[in-house]
Amino acid sequence: MIPRELARKIRYIQIYTSKAVNDVLAGEYHSVFKGRGMEFDEVREYQPGDDVRSIDWNVTARTGRPHIKRYREERELTVVFLVDLSASGAFGSSGKLKNEVAAELCALLAFSAIKNNDKVGLIVFTDQVEYFVPPAKGTSHVLRLIRDVLDFRPRQARTDIAGALAYFGRVIPRRCVGFVVSDFLGGDFARPMRTLAHRHDLIAVSITDPREVALPNVGLIEIEDAETGEIVLLDTGSAAVRRRYEGLGRERSGALSESFRSMGVDQIDVFTDRDYVRSLVTFFRGRERRQGR
């Protein structure tokens, strides 16, 4: 039996994300992720207006009547979510934990995927891969993934993004769309991500809480690193301390974005106190413009 509170959260996410998919995202998703290419569909007789470049000369010669080859888009995609559920995700200062936002965002993208008849899979990781769900189709499958992310209790606290990417490369050999959902606080992952970006369509979804980039003026506070246990005492009453903290946050964000660009990986910036649907729409429309060049 699913606990009542968990069932309520799943139902809320299903209703909210389904509405967003139907109202906003379905067309955006389809236009950006177009499938693996074109595959042969049929040979039929030529009709006025058909492109003469499509004529199948072998069939035409054999039958004595002009025929053309028709192709259709190979639409079906595989979408895999690599979700970081290390201890740093169990933080939230604006009503939602980073991990909760990760679950909702994955649900939104997953419902967009199944609306287009795509398969969806899940890899949950910390400093090791803790859970894998092979790609499959259907609403019940997506609801299972949402439940798994919301109810997951990680065994480890730290993060190893490079290890998760290596696992992903082994279990998903064919090209797919991979969403790496993390706060990206876990070590060096540039080499495996750059390598996998040549084979898969990788998208980094960076989730940030506002208190990770700016501090309120509340006097002396202790900040604990959830993954290492290290505690730092900060005087937030000092304007210089707050400016330095914000400056370090901007530097880290800028370096992360530059790193993704150098790897050929698209990035979606998501903040726990902002509308992530708008972030996704902005990403989809920007990507569609770039693809149309």
Which residue reads 């940030």 in tokens?
A: 208
Same structural domain, 172 and 206: yes
* Cβ 158 vs Cβ 186: under 8 Å: yes
CATH assignment at residue 271? 3.40.50.410
- Alpha-carbon span 175 to 168, nearest angstrom: 11
26 domain residue, yes or no: no
- Alpha-carbon span 23 to 226, nearest angstrom: 38
Same structural domain, 153 and 256: yes
Same structural domain, 121 and 202: yes
Closest CA to 86 of 144, 160, 145: 160
Domain C-terminal end among 21, 50, 74: 74
pLDDT digits (tens), the chain, 293 positions: 567 887 888 888 888 777 788 777 767 777 777 654 555 567 888 888 888 888 888 888 989 999 888 765 555 789 999 999 999 888 888 888 999 899 889 988 998 888 888 999 999 999 999 999 999 999 899 989 988 888 889 999 899 999 999 999 999 988 899 999 999 986 789 999 999 999 999 999 999 999 988 998 999 988 888 788 888 898 999 999 999 999 998 999 999 999 999 999 999 999 999 988 888 888 988 888 877 65
- Answer positive or negative: Cα dihedral of 194, 33, 174, 138: positive
Residue burial 218-256, b: 16+ Cβ < 10 Å; e: rest: eeeeeeeeebeeeeeebebeeeeebeebeeebeeebeeb
- Residue 237 phi/psi, 5-degree rounding, is -70, -15
* Cβ 75 vs Cβ 98: under 8 Å: no
CB neighbourhood size of 210 (10 A): 16
Please name the amino acid found at residue 257. S
For 106, the token pair is: 């994955």
Same structural domain, 190 and 90: yes
For 245, the token pair is: 């903290």
N-terminal to C-terminal alpha carbon distance within the chain? 51
- Alpha-carbon span 104 to 114, nearest angstrom: 15
* Cβ 100 vs Cβ 141: under 8 Å: no
pTM for the structure as a whole: 0.81
Q: What does the DSSP 8-state code read for residue 55?
A: B
Domain C-terminal end among 51, 74, 97: 74
Same structural domain, 234 and 187: yes
* Cβ 113 vs Cβ 139: under 8 Å: no
According to DSSP, the residues that pair with 220 across neighbouring strands are: 235
Please name the amino acid found at residue 27. G
Same structural domain, 82 and 53: no
285 domain residue, yes or no: yes
Same structural domain, 68 and 149: no
According to DSSP, the residues that pair with 281 across neighbouring strands are: none
Same structural domain, 200 and 261: yes
For residue 71, what pLDDT is reported? Answer: 63
Q: What does the DSSP 8-state code read for residue 228?
A: T
* Number of domains, the chain: 2
Same structural domain, 50 and 88: no
87 domain residue, yes or no: yes
Domain that holds residue 43: 39-74
48 domain residue, yes or no: yes
Same structural domain, 280 and 189: yes
For residue 4, what pLDDT is reported? Answer: 81
